[in-house]
Amino acid sequence: MASPALICDTEQWKALQAHVNAIQKTHLRDLMADADRCKAMTAEFEGIFLDYSRQRATGETMEKLLKLAEAAKLKEKIEKMFKGDKINSTENRSVLHVALRAPRDAVINSDGVNVVPEVGATGKALTNVVSVGIGGSFLGPLFVHTALQTDPEAAECAKGRQLRFLANVDPVDVARSIKDLDPETTLVVVVSKTFTTAETMLNARTLKEWIVSSLGPQAVSKHMIAVSTNLKLVKEFGIDPNNAFAFWDWVGGRYSVCSAVGVLPLSLQYGFPIVQKFLEGASSIDKHFYSSSFGKNIPVLLGLLSVWNVSFLGYPARAILPYAQALEKFAPHIQQLSMESNGKGVSIDGVQLSFETGEIDFGEPGTNGQHSFYQLIHQGRVIPCDFIGVVKSQQPVYLKGETVSNHDELMSNFFAQPDALAYGKTPEQLHSEKVPENLIPHKTFQGNRPSLSLLLPTLSAYEIGQLLSIYEHRIAVQGFIWGINSFDQWGVELGKSLASQVRKQLHGSRMEGKPVEGFNPSTSSLLARYLTVKPSTPYDTTVLPKV
Ligand SMILES: O=P(O)(O)OC[C@H]1O[C@](O)(CO)[C@@H](O)[C@@H]1O
């Protein structure tokens, strides 16, 4: 018998749909009263503790989800990924970011060639580094850099150096990225897998001009290097391919933090030994993901629960809430990783999906988020939350006379919020507290809002690598179950090609006084309004940011 075209046509999917009703009838308050259930809904690996008892799920739900994993051939798909099969079928590519952090003696083949020996990195001390790149060539390295900055060991290694990122093509971002920098002591790293991304290339040309105008054209070879898969375009740009760090088409942009994309700028800043610990952390989770049974496998459990929340309980969003300022840039990275991977409309075979995939990811470190959008999470929309906490802070601060340390204060919130969401507060409780009648509806919390808690031992380079890998694999699990291609991104192309049409028209209007044409009435009138303001200097003169 031919297998169903879509996962939603399987018996296992239908069994979960039929099970939703039973779950809708139970409140998390009651589920949480079952101590055995709470104990069972945990998993641990190297001190990373996952508690998913506050998900709207029971043992039966988990059994059914594990059966769905079987129906989706999850085990086989994970094996294919690790083996280097071309699972990114729309681009005919392997998906091998795990090879970037594999032990040196591992064997991982792409096109019959072991890729592990090709993977290497270097560390070279320079005072200022500006890493120019966008999307996957920016967000992951920024997340790791922001996190490493708070690790005392890493911070010590980085003394006297600074690493900045330039992503947005907004000239204001260019000005910010080079403010107070001297080109003479600055190395510009152009990071682009394709070396064609419009924003990155214009920013790279701008910084090239910044260097040349101050140090002369010969300075480019000493002050600009590149990370790319496209060495031909690197050369055409004017960067010596000997100053380029290659990587491979089997590394997806958003999965490239562990390639030279992240490893090079981070090693320049912190030295390779620190970055190696980060890679080892990521690799430890790769092994756990590949070899642990699904019932105790942290990325698999997280992925299955996300599928449950999105596809069966109908929750369209997910909040990423690290109670760790070091993880300030984690949610922005996960936004790309998750939404570019799993925001798809068709199956990997091109069949229109009849169910939604992906979720809207957003987040902020706690407690800042509590004073921003938690109102909606508590009393408005139901949004499954990931609470991420750390047992040992990198900064032990305690004030004499205070009841708790500063980290305990932070973590009090980490422990309290999931219960507030799960249990809520009933009108009866409010009555017993003598709350005025008119305020009872406003102060009632329905509760029954799912979350999970991930508690890390600390946040050194090793755990930062582990956290990255957990989320990379969780997102892949979701895509494998949904039967989509989590490794392509055709959805970003249309906007890019329309922008190129607009660019042409802007050029024609500004340089040759041509009328703007070919747009709908709305875009035409917006463009006309934009073009009424003429540039303050002629277009054929170079103007660099004032810093
Ligand atoms: O590294 P590149 O090729 O400049 O691409 C940057 C980003 O652009 C995208 O292709 C689309 O936004 C991302 O997938 C990618 O991470």
- How large is the ipTM? 0.98
Contacts of 208 (CB under 8 A, 6+ apart): 188, 220, 224, 237, 238
- The response to whether residue 333 sits with its C-beta less than 6 Å from ligand 1 reads no
Instruction: From the CA of 261, give the closest atom in ligand 1.
Output: 1
Per residue in 200-231, pLDDT (tens digit) is 999 999 999 999 999 999 999 889 999 999 99
- The response to whether residue 136 sits with its C-beta less than 6 Å from ligand 1 reads yes
Is residue 340 among the annotated active site residues? yes
Assess whether 360 and 462 both reside in one domain: yes
**How far is residue 103's CA from residue 521's CA, in Å, rounded to a whole number?**
58
Q: How many CB atoms lie within 10 A of CB 140?
A: 27
Assess whether 316 and 464 both reside in one domain: yes
pLDDT of residue 3: 64
Beta bridge partners of 253: none
Handedness of CA 227, 233, 234, 237 (dihedral sign): negative
In a domain, 344, yes or no: yes
Residues of the chain with pLDDT under 50: 121-125
In a domain, 265, yes or no: yes
Contacts of 260 (CB under 8 A, 6+ apart): 121, 227, 245, 246, 247
Contacts of 143 (CB under 8 A, 6+ apart): 257, 327, 329, 330, 332, 333, 468
DSSP E strands, 118-178:
128-132, 162-166
> What CATH number has the domain bearing residue 381?
3.40.50.10490
Assess whether 224 and 290 both reside in one domain: no
H helix or E strand, kind and range, residue 114: strand 113-114
DSSP E strands, 236-345:
244-246, 317-322
Assess whether 358 and 261 both reside in one domain: no
DSSP character string of 480-536? HHHT--TT--GGGHHHHHHHHHHHHHHHHHHHH-PPP-SS-HHHHHHHHHHHTS--S
Query: CA-based diameter of the chain, in Å?
Result: 79
Domain that holds residue 529: 496-507+516-546
Assess whether 341 and 448 both reside in one domain: yes
How do 48-51 and 451-456 pair as beta strands? Answer: antiparallel
Assess whether 81 and 214 both reside in one domain: no
CB contact at 8 A, 127 and 161: yes
Is residue 333 among the annotated active site residues? no
Per residue in 159-208, pLDDT (tens digit) is 999 999 999 999 999 999 999 999 999 999 999 999 999 999 999 999 99
What token pair was written down for 366? 């706690």
In a domain, 62, yes or no: yes
Provide the 8-state DSSP code for 129: E
Assess whether 296 and 318 both reside in one domain: yes
pLDDT of residue 111: 85
Assess whether 392 and 260 both reside in one domain: no
pLDDT of residue 21: 97
Is residue 44 among the annotated active site residues? no
Give the Å distance between the CA of 136 and the centre of ligand 1: 6
Give the Å distance between the CA of 457 and the centre of ligand 1: 33
Contacts of 287 (CB under 8 A, 6+ apart): none
In a domain, 23, yes or no: no
* Domain tally, the chain: 3
In a domain, 135, yes or no: yes
Which candidate in 14, 222, 496, 504 is catalytic? Answer: 496
Question: Mean pLDDT of all residues in the chain?
Answer: 95
Assess whether 353 and 419 both reside in one domain: yes
Considering 215, 249, 270, which residue would you say is the last residue of a domain? 270
In a domain, 60, yes or no: yes
Assess whether 409 and 297 both reside in one domain: yes
Altogether, the residues listed in the chain come to a count of 547
Considering 270, 292, 307, which residue would you say is the last residue of a domain? 270
